[in-house]
Amino acid sequence: MKKESVPLLDPNRQYVIGTAGHIDHGKTALVKALTGVDTDRLPEEKARGITIDLGFAHLSENITIIDVPGHERLIKNMVAGVSTIDLVLLVVAADDGVMPQTREHLDIVRLLQIQHGVVAITKVDLVDEEWLELVSEDVRSLLQDSPFPRAPIVFTSAASGQGIEQLREVLLNELARVPSRQDTEVFRLPVDRVFSAHGFGTVVTGTVLGGSLKSGQQVEVQPSGRLSRVRGLQTHEQEVGRVRVGFRAAVNLADLTLDQIHRGDVLTEPGRYQPARQINARLW
């Protein structure tokens, strides 16, 4: 099925899905089966056969999938990917079952208070029905302490195509249940990717968590306090004049070099936020 045939849900909103799961459980292959996009873009990722950095693909005109790495040493990249998502796609390989990073990623999802999820059990063509039933029971048990204990579980195989259409339908149904983000009316965009585009200069991407942003507007980069002007905006590879809360955005910034802004920085309205050096926390 082509991306154009996927329903738009609410055309006035954008939705972000993030993958989660253990290394080599088939997250990237599943995203490619759903979207046609191979999110492993780095030469090292191709050579090693694992996801290292965040990857991005579009399920439709207003649905983005962020593919995250599963390796335990790349957990900070995983956190950057899922921190602003609406729904998590938890991937568990049928031949491996629940593994350490399955649990760790689900713990992170719980801490970030992501309330909606779908489970894809992948590589089902490699196991028999009896083993698949055992894995399903383990997954259902794991979900009991999660924010979505009754999340749908879909059996899939990226190699054969089994379950891909069903998974797409389930994702759309679950996204339809996700409430709109509450708008603080103050612009804020955590940066999850920084790169240079030929002829444009520095570009950052992220999800707008509050307010809106227009081309030509001035922004402040926190925590450095550097100021910049928005040269251009894109959402889902389309040039736009404005992005608002919930939108994925690519922001072309003037007068900033690649070493002056980093993943984890936040674009804000000038003068509205200040970095803090202390926090109050309750641990339990």
Does 42 share its domain with 72?
yes
Does 171 share its domain with 197?
no
Does 137 share its domain with 37?
yes
CB within 8 A of 86, min separation 6: which ones?
15, 16, 17, 114, 116, 175, 178
Residue 279 lies inside a defined structural domain of this protein: no
Query: What's the CA gap between 169 and 14, in Å, rounded?
Result: 17
Cβ-contact 213, 186 below 8 angstroms: no
Given 22, 24, 102, 192, the catalytic residue = 24
Cβ-contact 243, 213 below 8 angstroms: yes
Listed residues 175, 208, 230: the one ending a domain? 175
Cβ-contact 247, 210 below 8 angstroms: no
Does 107 share its domain with 219?
no
Domain harbouring 50, CATH code: 3.40.50.300
pLDDT tens digits, one per residue of 30-73? 999 999 998 766 555 444 454 546 788 999 989 999 888 654 44
Chain-centroid distance, C-alpha 235: 15
Cβ-contact 60, 84 below 8 angstroms: no
Residue 273 lies inside a defined structural domain of this protein: no
Given 3, 58, 71, 236, the catalytic residue = 71
Is residue 27 annotated as part of the catalytic site, yes or no? Answer: yes
Residue 191 host element (H or E): strand 188-197
Cβ-contact 136, 153 below 8 angstroms: yes
Cβ-contact 77, 69 below 8 angstroms: yes
Is residue 95 annotated as part of the catalytic site, yes or no? Answer: no
Which residue type does 178 have? V
User: How many domains, in total, are found in the chain?
Assistant: 2
Does 141 share its domain with 200?
no
Given 27, 32, 105, 116, the catalytic residue = 27
Query: What's the CA gap between 42 and 124, in Å, rounded?
Result: 28
Domain harbouring 201, CATH code: 2.40.30.10
Does 58 share its domain with 97?
yes
Given 28, 39, 235, 268, the catalytic residue = 28
* pLDDT averaged per 10 residues, the chain (length 284): 57 90 91 89 50 77 83 54 82 96 90 93 97 97 95 97 96 92 87 87 93 96 96 92 94 94 94 88 81
Listed residues 124, 142, 175: the one ending a domain? 175
Query: What's the CA gap between 279 and 101, in Å, rounded?
Result: 28
Is residue 116 annotated as part of the catalytic site, yes or no? Answer: no
Does 105 share its domain with 200?
no
Cβ-contact 65, 19 below 8 angstroms: yes
What is the per-residue pLDDT for 180?
A: 86
Does 130 share its domain with 37?
yes
Does 30 share its domain with 171?
yes
Does 109 share its domain with 205?
no
What is the per-residue pLDDT for 4?
A: 47
Dihedral, CA of residue 262, residue 267, residue 270 and residue 275, to nearest 10: -60
Which residues span the domain enclosing 84? 3-175
Residue 88 lies inside a defined structural domain of this protein: yes
What is the per-residue pLDDT for 80?
A: 61
Is residue 3 annotated as part of the catalytic site, yes or no? Answer: no
Does 76 share its domain with 45?
yes
Alpha helices in 148-266 (DSSP H): 164-175
Residue 24 lies inside a defined structural domain of this protein: yes
